[in-house]
Amino acid sequence: MIYIGIDLGGTAVKIGAVSASGQVLGKAEKPTRAERPYGEVIRDMAEGIREILGQLNLPEDQIAAIGVGVPGAVNNDTGYVTDCTNLGWMNTDFRGEMHRYFSCPVILENDANVAALAEAKVGISKGTHSSIMITLGTGVGSAIMMDGKLWTGSHGVAGEIGHMILVPDGVACNCGRMGCVERYCSATALAEQARHYSLTYADTMILQMAGGKKENITAKMVVDAAREGDRLGVQLFTNYCRYLAMTIDNVINFFDPEMIILGGGVSKAGDFLLKGVLSYIPAYVMGAERAGTRVVLATLGNDAGIIGAALLGLK
Amino acid sequence: MIYIGIDLGGTAVKIGAVSASGQVLGKAEKPTRAERPYGEVIRDMAEGIREILGQLNLPEDQIAAIGVGVPGAVNNDTGYVTDCTNLGWMNTDFRGEMHRYFSCPVILENDANVAALAEAKVGISKGTHSSIMITLGTGVGSAIMMDGKLWTGSHGVAGEIGHMILVPDGVACNCGRMGCVERYCSATALAEQARHYSLTYADTMILQMAGGKKENITAKMVVDAAREGDRLGVQLFTNYCRYLAMTIDNVINFFDPEMIILGGGVSKAGDFLLKGVLSYIPAYVMGAERAGTRVVLATLGNDAGIIGAALLGLK
């Protein structure tokens, strides 16, 4: 039997067949084009699954389950995506639509939870007592794992670390409030800050990398410029690391997990990010015991979403 | 059988005999006088226990266990109080000393955890799926309960909500860092702010209540003045509620508990506090589901420490 995992993103839908032990056996990818009716996106998913079955030369009844990681809120009782602003999906009957193509169990989960599950089952946090995975991408998400199980809260919405208030009355956030973690610690925030300050730092390497057009600036350019010692790049990245360290330290002070895992786009900065963040840990963590929490990088990379979604089917 | 609960505070040691169902059967109290050798404090505890046995006309062998709530860190494997700055107890052999007087099991726990346990077993959070108790006193502590059990973290030090960073680079804290929750949400902080601003608001009712001496100002005076509409009192208390709401909301956004319980000295302000805090919840909590977390006042009052400590013996 194989387990299908679907990583539903704003740009692409990644589909994979995974073994019970978490090994990726085959993959397919489709553009999301979220402006389409959701039925067309799910039709493309079904097509991707059939492509993989073809690659592996397996019949449909070898699929044990289909799991999907959604960048939003889901309800597994109804099989609906309840609120996914990024895709514009509200109360969308995902399971019902998928059942038009495949009759196996279809399980939905938030994408940050899915990535955390993957790391806890076959990645860096395997065997830990407790861990928090923080995803640094377009937004900032997190997932809480205890004793190998996800803690999703009393209303199924735990882990919204991106909307904890980091700076009272700080930068305005999409959510309508001010000073949220997401406005300081997401890839989006890092790129936005660079766009803003590139007006006054006209000689910055970041602007050169973007071909002189500030609207083309990405978070990766800021990180790369910081590595090269570019003045604006270093300032913005240092500030980013400091705010991320405060956020991590707040989680450690409150929850005292065994491990914190950094994933998502910005985590691709690797040891450069880790070193920058770790330098601020003693400044904000209370007491020596808490400093025992290990802060590490995610290890499963781009496949985490596929693997975690597939492993949802193992339950 | 009876369960002895000891609430070890900076000023007083409260001792109680409690039934297995959490009913307080008898009480005694001794001044702590923490400047004494710890052996003398524990000798007074033993004396208090004997007084209660006398009140109840029970022999010593009717004590099932002795539990103690400590305003600091403890180690139940060794029976030591490992770090209690308030009393100046560092690596203090509490259990060994208590066993000089009584041979029953002696269990130690942090005082915030003890109060949360009491509320969860016989108080307002009984039967909840998850709850966080926040203690607003000299400092700000918290305890995390899930499915009737305490979550103490991977290094036994979870719940240090008072030292989460609330205001980056904010007011300097005793812990050596800046902007900690404790500097905005403790009784101490509220009194300190009033002392500071009483210089410029010389006509404030708070200063009158303190007999004109700013060093006599307490948090209770600020709350009482706010109730009366005193300008400085209202400003400080409103600000206090706003910062406390941000802290509560950060916990809700991250952890999504079923209930948040406010205890400790400032919670005696009752509905006046609750109303002030609740008015800010929609401003900082992300999404309607999370707003389902109930924020309530502790119900066990002064006896919570005794009851919770005694119930430690039920394990």
Number of domains in chain B: 2
Which residue in B has a C-alpha nearest to residue A294's C-alpha? B154
- Residue for token pair 């790391």: A119
**Residue A68 in domain:** yes
Both B33 and B163 in one domain: the answer is no
Same domain, B174 and B141: yes
Contact criterion met (CB below 8 Å) for B99 and B106: yes
How confident is the model at residue B289, as a pLDDT? 62
Q: Is 80 exceeded by the pLDDT of residue A286? A: no
Q: How far is A58 from chain B (nearest CA, A)?
A: 42
Q: How far is CA B148 from CA A154, B65, B127, B220, B294, in A?
A: 14, 20, 8, 33, 17
Query: A272 and A165, same structural domain?
Result: yes
What chain A residue is nearest to B242 in terms of C-alpha separation? A168
pLDDT for the residue numbered B302: 83
Q: Is A80 on the interface with B (CB under 8 A)?
A: no
Same domain, A68 and A196: no
At B59, which CATH number? 3.30.420.40
pLDDT at A83 (0 to 100): 86
Say if CB A254 and CB B159 are below 8 A apart: yes
Contact A177 B290 (CB under 8 A): no
pLDDT at A290 over 70: no
Q: Which residue has the higher pLDDT, A94 or A177?
A: A94
pLDDT recorded at residue A289 = 61
Based on the fold, state whether residues B201 and B80 are members of the same structural domain.
no
Would you say residue B148 lies in a domain? yes
Q: Are B161 and B289 in contact (CB under 8 A)?
A: no
Quick one: DSSP state of residue A38? H
Query: Which pair of structure tokens corresponds to residue B286?
Result: 């992300």
Percent share of chain A, pLDDT over 90: 82
B243–chain A Cβ distance below 8 A for any pair: yes
pLDDT at A170: 96
Using an 8 Å CB-CB cutoff, list chain B residues near A151: 146, 255
Helix (H/G/I), strand (E/B), else coil: B211: coil
Asked if residues A282 and A245 have their Cβ atoms less than 8 Å apart, the reply is: no
CB B40 within 8 A of CB B34: no
Same domain, A278 and A236: yes
Q: Is B278 inside a domain boundary? A: yes
Structure-block tokens of residue B195:
């002392």
- Model pLDDT for residues A217-247, shown as the tens digit of each residue: 999 999 999 999 999 999 999 999 999 999 9
Residues constituting chain A: 315
Q: Does B257 touch chain A (CB under 8 A)?
A: yes
Contact A256 B154 (CB under 8 A): yes
- Say yes or no for a CB contact (<8 Å) between A158 and B283: no
Gyration radius of chain A's alpha carbons: 20
- The Cα A233–Cα A227 span in angstroms is 8
Rounded CA gap, B206 and B216, in Å?
A: 10
Q: Is residue A122 part of a domain?
A: no
Tell whether B171 is within 8 A of chain A (Cβ): no
CB B114 within 8 A of CB B120: no
Chain A residue with minimal CA distance to B142? A254
Q: Are residues A154 and A222 in the same domain?
A: yes
Residue corresponding to tokens 């999504």: B256
Answer with the residue of higher pLDDT: B94 or A160. Answer: B94
Measured between alpha carbons, how far is A212 from A71 in angstroms, rounded to an integer? 32
Q: Is residue A196 part of a domain?
A: yes
Average pLDDT value over all residues in chain A: 93
> What is the reported pLDDT for B148?
82
Q: How far is B29 from chain A (nearest CA, A)?
A: 32
φ/ψ of residue B92, rounded to 5 = -100, 130
Q: Is the pLDDT of residue A287 over 70?
A: no
- Residue A289: its chain B contacts at CB < 8 A? 73, 155-157
> Do B286 and B162 share a structural domain?
yes
**Residue located via tokens 């709350």:** B223
| β-pairing verdict for A12-18 and A24-31 | antiparallel
Kindly report the nearest CA distance between residue A301 and chain B, in angstroms: 24
Distance between CA atoms of residues A295 and A293, nearest Å = 6
* Backbone dihedral angles phi then psi of residue B98, each to the nearest 5 degrees: -65, -30
Residues B162 and B268 in one domain: yes
B-chain CB neighbours of A150 within 8 Å are none
Cα distances (Å, whole numbers) of residue A37 to A51, A67, A88, A94, B236 = 22, 21, 10, 12, 52
Chain A within 8 Å of B254 (Cβ-Cβ)? yes
Chain A residues lying within 8 Å of B143, measured CB to CB? none
**Residue B188 contacts A where some CB pair is shorter than 8 Å:** no
Which segments of chain B have a pLDDT < 50? none
pTM beyond 0.80: the answer is: yes
Q: Could you tell me how far CA A47 lies from the centroid of its own chain? A: 25
Do residues B142 and B155 both lie within one domain? Answer: yes
- Return the DSSP state at B171: S
| Mean pLDDT for the stretch of residues A173-181 | 90
pLDDT recorded at residue B118: 95
Statement to judge: residues A290 and A308 lie in one domain: no
* pLDDT score for A73: 85
Q: Does A127 touch chain B (CB under 8 A)?
A: no
Amino acid at A284: Y
Amino acid letter for position B70: V
DSSP character at residue A81:
E
Query: What chain B residue is nearest to A166 in terms of C-alpha separation?
Result: B166
State the Cα–Cα distance between residues B85 and B91, nearest whole angstrom: 11
Domain that holds residue A183: 127-299
Residue B38 shares a structural domain with residue B110: yes
Using the beta-carbon criterion (under 8 Å), do A155 and B250 form an inter-chain contact? Answer: no
pLDDT digits (tens, 9 = 90+) for A61-119: 999 999 999 988 899 899 999 988 778 899 999 999 999 999 999 999 998 899 999 99
CA distance A298 to chain B (A): 20
A226 burial type by CB count under 10 A (0-12 exposed, 13-18 middle, 19+ buried): buried
CB atoms within 10 A of CB B178: 16
Strands of the sheet with B24-31, listed across from one edge: B24-31, B12-18, B2-8, B63-70, B106-110
CA distance B22 to B46: 21
**Set of chain A residues whose Cβ sits within 8 Å of the Cβ of B286:** 160, 163, 175, 177
**What's the mean pLDDT in A188-193?**
97
pLDDT at B195: 97
